[in-house]
A and B are shown apart, each in its own frame.
Chain A
Amino acid sequence: MAKFQSLADAVADNLNDGDSAAFEGFTHLIPHAAAHEVIRQCRKDLTVMRMTPDMIYDQLIGMGCVKKMIFSFAGNPGVGLLRRFRDALENGWPHQLEIEEHSHAAMANAYEAGAAGLPCAIFRGYRGAELTRVNPNIKFVECPFSGENLATVPALRPDVAVIHALKANRNGDVFLEGITGVQKEAVLAAKRSIVTVEEIVDDFEGLSPNATVLPAWTVTSIAVVPGGAHPSYTQGYYGRDNGAYLEWDKIASDRDMFMDWMKANVLDQTPDIFAARVAHLKTQG
């Protein structure tokens, strides 16, 4: 049953050194505040996964928290390459980084398999693609009915899934809408989960019966962090801070500039700062 906690307690209770963790979000609802708390608590040797690791993975890698990353697109979309990720892979700074690389279809299917309690995902993919040469976790099987050769990858089952959502009710049920990515699958696939939310409401009255809801008994910890996705966005609360993504490309381009920014904006801060960061991005309704 979901437990309401401070973000610091939620991270301390759920994420250990050496764990595997999915900080999911597909442009929308990326759990920046939670990732910053992980950096402040100096977690080490993490195996992190996400379809679209962007700024928070650049930060986790640059701060030395990550041993291995499982991913399908490591870029700052529309802006460029992830510079801290590149520095780790190309120059081993701050240390060597292991990678396991997939396609989006593979990761989406692998989370779904994890949520479904299956050992692997099967899909029509990777034909003629060279990731099959460098990733031993991509194999092919023959369909026992049609004979078709299909790709298969292991299910993703992180120790911890970390997501940001719109709101929780007092019972601890969690609601998200808009671009929902693979967050529902990641939480259901994980052993434990941390969900940051914009607010807690009495109930979800008026929501569509088909809305995306994670019942309280599927969630481990909930922490209220208004603005906790910034510079990503929360549908109906605040818009995406595109300027911050453009700015990150400059900050991450230089090791010293990166470290100075992390000290000023992460290490010397608390989750309370996120509400102020979205004040100028608030949307109606």
Chain B
Amino acid sequence: MSTFTPTEMMTVAAARALSNDDVCFVGIGAPSAACNLARLTHAPDITLIYESGTIGTAPTVLPLSIGDGELCDTALNTVSVPEMFRYWLQGGRITVGFLGGAQLDRFGNINTTVVGDYDNPKVRLPGGGGAPEIAISCGEIFITMKQSTRGFVEKLDFITSLGHGKGGSDRADHGVHTKGPTRLITDLAVWQPDPQTKEFTVTSLHPGASRKDVQDTVGWPAKFADHVLETPAPSAEELQVLRDLQARTKAAHEGK
């Protein structure tokens, strides 16, 4: 077994969470890498949808932006953005949405809007984009983020998109009846919500990651499942496909 980076482990673990039958709303960055890795390995018929309007896309390189020409060229169909958000997302036709963010709390609520006060920001982030409605309209949500105390916080500066709210039945109390975040995949572990409290709980540690590593990079007292598994290391094939994809992508984005 060759060595691998924590980011590669995160991407592979996220890819494995997807199935061939999924219809997936893909975001740029780690989600895009994971979704395309799934498509190029165990889920060749997965349907990838980008919010720019491309349905059933199969890019050979990862897009730098959500609307790269590659996505349209390889899509089954490309629709207008209003149609994408009305018929496809709001219409309930997406099984999995992938989200990430600058800040995350233990209930899977996400901030991509602002660090500090909204009207007097320390850091102005890009904003929600599709996330507020992706979070409530997709069948379930997977979150990918690298762990850090800066990102995994006790209290968000701003709730851009709803996870499990304050926990328990709070999501349903907001009138939202999709599952919400069902999996948090980081560079150290896989977390899943507790069935009652909805607080993220570590269910699987990646090879080489300890409970202390997890706790040191989270701004709240981390919960662990009764039986924490070890995430299987990336296979040689998974690593090869991912690295080839990243190499093709790097060459393309440097204008080769």
Contact = CB atoms under 8 A, between A and B. Distances in A.
A77 B128 contact: no
Contact of B126 (A74, A129, A235): A74
B53 A73 contact: no
A4 interface: no
A139 interface: no
A134 interface: yes
A123 B90 contact: yes
Nearest to A51: B81
Contacts, number: 187
Given A72-B129, A242-B255, A109 B86 contact: yes
A212 to B, nearest CB: 8
B210 to A, nearest CB: 32
Contacts of B81: 26, 51, 104, 108, 180-182
B44 interface: no
- In which size bucket is the chain B interface? 35 or more
Contacts of A124: 90, 133, 136-137
Given A26-B67, A104-B133, A82 B126 contact: yes
B63 interface: yes
A85 to B, nearest CB: 7
Interface stretch (B9-17, B157-165, B220-228): B157-165
Interface string A16-52: 0000000000111000000000000000000000011
Interface in B90-149: 90, 109, 113, 118-119, 121-133, 135-137
Interface string A123-142: 11111111100100000000
A104 B130 contact: yes
B247 interface: no
Contacts of A233: 69
A81 interface: yes
Contact of B136 (A51, A125, A130): A125
Contact of A127 (B65, B69, B129, B175): B175
Which one of A104, A127, A149, A235 has the greatest number of beta carbons of chain B within 10 Å? A104
A148 B175 contact: yes
B133 A185 contact: no
Given A26-B81, A127-B176, A129-B128, A235 B72 contact: yes
B183 interface: no
B203 interface: no
A81 B126 contact: yes
A179 B57 CA distance: 12
Which one of A82, A124, A149, A212 has the greatest number of beta carbons of chain B within 10 Å? A124
A151 to B, nearest CB: 9
A284 to B, nearest CB: 12
A78 B28 contact: yes
B4 to A, nearest CB: 23
Interface of B: 28-29, 51-54, 63-69, 71-72, 78, 80-82, 84-86, 89-90, 109, 113, 118-119, 121-133, 135-137, 158-162, 165, 171, 174-176, 252-255
